[in-house]
Amino acid sequence: MTRSHGAARMSIGEAVDRLLRDGVPLGFTAYDGSRSGPPDARITLDLKNERGLAYLVTAPGDLGMVRAYVSGDLDLLGVHPGDPYDALVALKDHTGFRTPSPSEVLAIVRSLGLSSLRPPPPPPQERLPRWRRTVEGLRHSMGRDAGVISHHYDVSNRFYEMVLGPSMAYTCALYESADATLEEAQAAKFDLVCRKLALRPGQRLLDVGCGWGTMVRHAAREHGVKALGVTLSLEQAQWAKEAIDREGLADLAEVRHLDYRDVVESGFDAVSSIGLTEHIGVRNYPAYFSHLRDRLKPGGRLLNHCITRSHNKRQETGPFIDRYVFPDGELIGSGTIIRAAQDAGLEVQHSENLRMHYAATLAAWNRNLRTHWDECVAEVGEGTARVWGLYIAASRVGFERAELELHHVLATRNHDDGRSGFPLRPDW
């Protein structure tokens, strides 16, 4: 089919050029034989079929590209799908797709000979957008949060073992030297948290959002505390219990499949929250910090470890993260977190930004995914493996460019007379 008035059909390469503000930053090839972009490009976007084109046209911008990439309709030649970092850096430096007018979209579709403007069904890895979901009513209800956590964490314990390594720590590590291994850096992170909390034998620790129980086991094994961890992921809880039993720590460590809001015990000497705050919603910070404060005994310490933004303005996470990775996830600056902790009656003693440590952690996870790519694909499918490669690499770019940060906020629940038990200078 050709356009009216005898106009020649537009090639896909020409259409892509029209939809990009500054041209294609990478090489581009399409199934109609057309090309675009620098002829000597090291990395090439390869569009394989009409469904991929329909994704790009009906969801211009990042979402369409992600849908096509996850479906295997768009490939990145020149980079490994387990580590597409170099491609994302090139795309990040580019101004990206512009949003065409409806009439322009229609003209492009007709010129390309597409049969329909109807979007193809999204890949199965994509959750429905927020306004179409009906999961347990309101955002961050207990039922809805349980579903969201399951979507992200109950992928496959074996998959996480391959990507995260033996530590099974899915949070920012601490690189005390540039040549430290991922395992050394994760152990250093957990020990730093323990030192900031001033853990001693015989004390009681609550670890909320405990994941696979690595903090619980580290604190029990290395510092002799009695540690309770809670997680909304059933697969994490089962894995953690097996690890606790395997290491002979059952007399000191316990992990429960439980919402942190259902923890009723109190009188803990310390509370650690490592990677939970991203999931709870900014409007729930007051209730969150109040609940954790009430779990502490007077003089107890709270360490909150979470991804933050470089500012305190509301900003959406974007369609890729929200639909494929962390549905309902929210990030904000450390100032908002500190204010919420203070308003809940906690005294903030120290804050630390570990931004570049997270960039290094993410690079290590991409290397692991690339190394174990075939086994990861066999375990979870290529689409899911592609989501993770893309997500980890994109997050690394965000941390390197200071769009994302990682903050430790250390606070105390003081005695009624104001005593905190905190030393004149940090004791770690």
Could you write out the DSSP letters of every residue in 15-48? HHHHHBSS--SSEEEETTS-EES-TT-SSEEEE-
Higher pLDDT, 5 or 78: 78
Q: Angle formed by the axes of helices 102-112 and 50-58, to 10°?
A: 170
Query: Do 144-412 and 4-112 fall under one CATH topology?
Result: no
Contact 318, 403 (CB under 8 A): no
pLDDT grade, residue 132 (50/70/90)? very low
Distances (CA, A) of 113 to 2, 32, 98, 108: 8, 11, 21, 9
In eight-state DSSP terms, residue 425 is S
With cut-offs at 50, 70 and 90, classify the pLDDT of residue 143: low
The structure tokens listed for 230 are 């809670």
Provide the pLDDT for residue 138.
Answer: 55
The 10s digit of each residue's pLDDT in 11-36 is 888 877 776 656 667 899 999 999 98
Q: Beginning with the edge strand found earlier in the chain, give each strand of the sheet holding 74-77 in spatial order.
A: 35-36, 27-30, 44-47, 74-77
Contact present, 168 and 161 (Cβ < 8 Å): yes
pLDDT band at 46, cuts 50/70/90? very high
pLDDT band at 2 (very low <50, low <70, confident <90, very high): very low
What is the pLDDT at residue 14?
81
Q: Mean pLDDT across the stretch 160-170? A: 97
pLDDT of residue 57: 81
pLDDT above 80: residue 149:
no
What does the mean pLDDT of the chain come to?
Answer: 89
pLDDT of 11:
87
Spacing of C-alpha 127 from chain mean position: 15
Reported as type and span, the H/E element at residue 219 is helix 214-223
**How far is residue 357's CA from residue 307's CA, in Å, rounded to a whole number?**
12
Lowest mean pLDDT among 4-8, 192-196, 373-377: 4-8
Is 133's pLDDT higher than 60? no
Query: Mean per-residue pLDDT for 249-253?
Result: 98
Quote the CA–CA distance of 407 and 423 in Å, as a whole number.
21
pLDDT surpasses 70 at 399 = yes
| Residue 137: pLDDT band with limits 50, 70, 90 | very low
Position 144 scores a pLDDT of: 58
Structural tokens at position 379: 């375990």
Q: Which two tokens stand for residue 150?
A: 């399951």
Query: What pLDDT, in 10s, does the model give residues 279-293?
Result: 999 999 999 999 999
Domains of the chain, by residue range, sit at 4-112, 144-412
Higher pLDDT among residues 75 and 26, named by residue = 75
Burial of residue 86 (CB within 10 Å: 0-12, 13-18, 19+) is middle
Q: What is the pLDDT of residue 155?
A: 73
Q: Do β-strands 74-77 and 44-47 pair in parallel, antiparallel, or remain unpaired?
A: antiparallel
Residue with tokens 């002829």: 39
CATH 3.30.1050 fits 4-112, yes or no: yes
- Note the pLDDT tens digit of each residue in 204-244: 999 999 999 999 999 999 999 999 999 999 999 999 999 99
Question: Taking a C-beta distance cutoff of 8 angstroms, is the pair 130, 323 a contact?
Answer: no
81-114: per-residue pLDDT in tens? 999 999 999 888 765 556 667 777 677 777 777 7
In the block, tokens 């609940």 appear at 291
Mean pLDDT of all residues in 263-291: 97
The residue to which tokens 């107890």 are assigned: 300
CATH superfamily, region 144-412: Vaccinia Virus protein VP39 (3.40.50.150)
CA atoms within 13 A on the CB side of 279: 29
CB 10 within 8 A of CB 108: yes
Alpha-carbon distance of 177 to 334, in angstroms, equals 26
State the burial class of residue 14 (Cβ atoms within 10 Å of its Cβ: 0-12, 13-18, 19+). Answer: middle
Whole-number Å distance between alpha carbons of 292 and 290:
5
Cβ–Cβ under 8 Å, residues 70 and 125? yes
Whether residue 153 has pLDDT greater than 60:
no
| Lowest-confidence segment of 27-31, 141-145, 160-164, 345-349 by average pLDDT | 141-145
Across the beta sheet with 347-353, the strand order is: 253-257, 226-231, 204-208, 268-274, 296-309, 404-412, 347-353
As a whole number of Å, the end-to-end CA separation of the chain is 72
> What's at 279, amino acid-wise?
H
Q: Which amino acid is at 157?
A: N
